[in-house]
Amino acid sequence: MYAAQGNAILFIKKDFFENIEEIKKTNENVGEVKKQNNTSSFTPSQIIYYGVPGCGKSNKIREQLKDVSEKNKVRVVFHPEYTNAEFIGQILPKVNGHVTYEFTPGPFTQIIKRAYLNPNEHFYLVIEEINRGNAAAIFGDTFQLLDRLKTGETDSLGNDPANASVNTFTEGWSQYFVQNDDVNAYIRGTENSIQIGNIRFDSNTAIRLPPNLSILATMNTSDQNVFTLDNAFQRRFDMELVRNEFDLTKPAVNAQYNAEIDDTGIKWGQFWGWINAKITATLKGLSSTEDKRLGVWFVSNVGGIIDDKVFAEKVLKFLWDDVFKFKRPQIFADGIDTLEKLINSFEKPSEGKERFDVFKDKSNLVAFVASPTL
């Protein structure tokens, strides 16, 4: 009887330790899975696309994000009056029977919350015309968030001294952080703390850009009276030139190249190449010569035609006011000494005149064969 009981005890004891080992192995596997899930598979991009007006900067971003859900991207346009409060967020009054003051998030805070709460999805902040506003002032202290941790780099930070919890930030997270209680509270909502991968985000957690948030921006190189992006700001972005050229393998681009300028018989690609060659030759030696050229999409065709009024009000006005401001007598026909005369002469040419007679020397325009690249 005793031996039988002893064997039973040994069997139970053996079974108990086998179960313990199995539980340990299971926990190790679960831990490994958690570790894998906490490693972001996203590589964030920070790119400024720059080039001449109408070269297709915004379209490049639109094509890049065409399959991205609307909730995964936020678009904002910088301008001279745009402020840090509008970009990040601000306390504003709200009336609902009585007046209360609440934090109203800006586009930066809106997209960063979405990225935090959905770590397995990629999100994009798109900034159009980044140099038309004072970018350094608009970003404010969040400017330092643009520095990201690189491969192999980590940053561990105590989250709550009371329980000594530690958050470890890995590749793709911001290298530095900023404190902003309003943004923090907006991200957490009604929760005291939330779990984001292996990051416990509570009221003590500082703000960083997560790996699944990219920033794409456009910059017009020829804009007048805009803010200059200093080297420190540009260094935190990859700068990518959008080339001013026609890719004739694309149907829409081919149609733009061959679009006729109203009833002139002149194709847009033909005029584009001719006037850009004239710009380069006339303004030779000036540092901004390249920036004065017309972009492929400076004006767009409708049904294969570029309307005479659209051409006059956009193209001719730009050439008069900006490109040839100090070279008008060399470019435009005698007697055209005001913008009004220029536009009227093109839209309603006098008897015996053609529309392009507004230019002093158009002798080689008709015969000009434009290369799709410059």
Tokens for 271? 């005029």
Contact between 50 and 218 (Cβ < 8 Å): yes
The SS3 call for residue 156 is: strand
CB-based burial, 255-279: b 16+ in 10 Å, e otherwise: ebbebebbebebbbbbbbbbbbbbb
Neighbouring CB atoms inside 10 A of 334's CB total: 7
Q: What whole-number distance in Å separates Cα of residue 125 and Cα of residue 102?
A: 24
Half-sphere exposure of 3 (CA within 13 A, CB side): 0
pLDDT at position 374: 54
**CATH architecture, range 46-235:** 3-Layer(aba) Sandwich (3.40)
Nearest to 276 by CA among 55, 4, 37, 73: 55
Kind of pairing between the strands at 46-51 and 238-241? parallel
Q: What is the DSSP letter of 227?
A: P
The token pair that represents 46 in the structure block: 């920070």
Please report where in the chains the tokens 């009000």 appear, as a residue.
313
Residue with tokens 């536009």: 343
**pLDDT per residue rounded down to tens, the chain (374 residues):** 444 444 444 443 444 345 445 434 444 443 333 333 344 678 999 999 999 989 999 999 999 999 999 999 999 999 999 999 999 999 999 888 889 899 999 999 999 999 999 999 999 999 999 999 999 999 999 999 999 999 999 998 755 555 546 889 999 999 999 999 999 999 999 889 899 888 899 999 999 999 999 999 999 887 655 788 888 889 999 999 999 999 999 999 999 999 999 999 999 999 999 999 999 998 886 656 778 999 999 999 999 999 999 999 999 999 999 999 999 999 999 999 999 999 999 999 999 999 999 999 888 887 776 666 65
Q: Report the pLDDT value the prediction gives residue 9, as an integer from 0 to 100.
A: 41
Query: What predicted TM-score, i.e. pTM, was given to this entire model?
Result: 0.82
Question: How many CB atoms are located within 10 Å of the residue 244 CB?
Answer: 22
Per-residue pLDDT at 16: 39
CB 334 within 8 A of CB 361: no
The CA distance from 109 to 111, in Å, is: 6
pLDDT at 38: 44
Angle between helices 107-117 and 181-188 (to 10 degrees): 40
